[in-house]
Structure 1
């Protein structure tokens, strides 16, 4: 397993990380999966207070009780569950963040969160207030670092200019190359680590039945999947190629992979052990279809 520093932090995170959102309701099976991932070298685990209304955090916290120094825990904030349990509302205010972090700390059974991320964001948010909350929690030692989870270039620019964030989590894959337009270069120039999610494009790059995706037609999706399969050949899996395409970009620190089963975990470990793609292979993939661009939030 390769490890990289996340942005300007001192967090050494595994190149393949565990997206905990995919974990099911079986706590025993989930705990075993998390332990096996750690044993295999994955040390970065990403959850959120929104997932399963906090139960996902509780599962992660229970799994790593007594092992806190061996894992890098990341969670997210900003989606406030309604009192009736019917959905949630966006709330990036300082007051809410300071309240929500206490509940996350309790569920995670820890005194501190390694990476606390805003779970979204818009230009209409009280951005300075949100940053102030993160800075306060950092000073109090309740979080070590903070970042945002956002695909919006205009929001990302604001946080790069106005805060000390160390990371941005964003969707990036062969079928979603929008971050290449400007965000990846901006983040790399400013020493902000990128956590890439969606490397497999909902399984469309792994042979799942094609469908229109982010402006691409079903035929274009098929062409991208065919290019992945061609590069994979007999020596690699499609998962290795899809994830290694993402990791090839120098701005990417880690690919966050959703893992729910032992098979998916093994697949992720194989990706971590796989060789890098060659420049020729990357160009073959890139030429399979024209890169898409952002239509909004530019």
Structure 2
């Protein structure tokens, strides 16, 4: 497993990380998967207070008891569940962020979170207020660093200019190359790490029946999947090829992968061991379809 420094932070995280949203409700089963991942070299585990009404943080906290010094825990805040559980509302206010971290710390059964992320964001937010909450939490030692989870270039740009974020989590794959246009160059320039999710595009790049995705029609999605297949070998599965495409981007620090089964953990670990794509292979993949771009929130 390769490890990379996350932005300007002192965190060195595995290039394949665990997206815990995929975990189910079986605490014992989850603990086995997480231990398998740790044994394979994965040290970064990403959750959020939104996932499963906080139960995701609880099951992760249970699985990591006695292992806290081995791992890096990331969580997120900003989505507030309604009292009746019917849904959630966006709340980036300082008071809410400061109260949310207390609940996340309790559920995770830890006294600090390594990376605390704003789970979204708009230009209408009280951004300075939100940033001040994260800065306060760093000063209090409740979080070590903070970042955002957003695909909106204008929101990302605002936080780059006005905060000390060390990371941005965003969707990125061969079928979603929108970050390449402006987000990646900006984040590279400012030494802010990218946590890339969605590398296999909901399975469309590896094993799912082609269907429209973003601005691509089903035929175009099938072309991308075929290109991934062509570059796969007995030692490099289609999923590994899709992941290697994502990891080939210098801006990307780690690919966040959801894993529900022991086989999926094994496959992700195998992807980490495969040979990186060559420049020629990357070019072949990029020539299959024109790169898409963000149409909104620019």
| Alignment partner, residue 220 of structure 2 | 220
Are the equivalent residues in 1 in contact too, given 2:79–2:119 (CA < 8 A)?
Answer: yes
CA drift at 1:121 = 0.3
Number of residue pairs matched by the alignment: 298
Give CA-to-partner distance per residue, 1:169-218, whole Å, 9 cap, x none. 00000000000010000000000000000000000000210000001000
| Alignment partner, residue 14 of structure 1 | 14
Unmatched tracts of structure 1, length 5 or more: none
Give CA-to-partner distance per residue, 1:98-144, whole Å, 9 cap, x none. 00100000001101000000000000000000000000000000000
Q: Provide the secondary structure at the position in 1 that maps to 2:187.
A: helix
| Residues in 2 aligned to 1:105 and 1:268: alpha-carbon distance in whole angstroms | 28
| Alignment partner, residue 208 of structure 2 | 208
| Residues in 2 aligned to 1:179 and 1:191: alpha-carbon distance in whole angstroms | 15
CA drift at 1:233 = 3.6
| Residues in 2 aligned to 1:29 and 1:288: alpha-carbon distance in whole angstroms | 40
| Residues in 2 aligned to 1:146 and 1:93: alpha-carbon distance in whole angstroms | 16
> What TM-score do you get using the length of structure 2 for normalisation?
0.99
| Alignment partner, residue 79 of structure 1 | 79
* 2:285 paired with 1:285: yes
Give CA-to-partner distance per residue, 1:64-108, whole Å, 9 cap, x none. 112111000000000001011111100000000000100000001
Q: Provide the secondary structure at the position in 1 that maps to 2:215.
A: coil
| Alignment partner, residue 112 of structure 1 | 112
Q: Provide the secondary structure at the position in 1 that maps to 2:231.
A: helix
| Alignment partner, residue 168 of structure 1 | 168
Q: Provide the secondary structure at the position in 1 that maps to 2:74.
A: strand
Matches within 5 A, 1:87-106: 87-106=87-106
Matches within 5 A, 1:166-205: 166-205=166-205
Q: Provide the secondary structure at the position in 2 that maps to 1:168.
A: strand
CA distance 1:65–1:235, change in 2 (3 Å): closer
* 2:81 paired with 1:61: no
Superposed CA RMSD in Å reads 0.6
| Alignment partner, residue 44 of structure 1 | 44
| Alignment partner, residue 236 of structure 1 | 236
Are the equivalent residues in 1 in contact too, given 2:27–2:62 (CA < 8 A)?
Answer: no
Unmatched tracts of structure 2, length 5 or more: none
CA drift at 1:35 = 1.0
Q: Provide the secondary structure at the position in 2 that maps to 1:170.
A: strand
> What TM-score do you get using the length of structure 1 for normalisation?
0.99
| Alignment partner, residue 136 of structure 1 | 136
| Residues in 2 aligned to 1:222 and 1:160: alpha-carbon distance in whole angstroms | 36
CA drift at 1:145 = 0.1
Give CA-to-partner distance per residue, 1:37-77, whole Å, 9 cap, x none. 11110000000000000000000111111211100000000
Are the equivalent residues in 1 in contact too, given 2:228–2:242 (CA < 8 A)?
Answer: yes
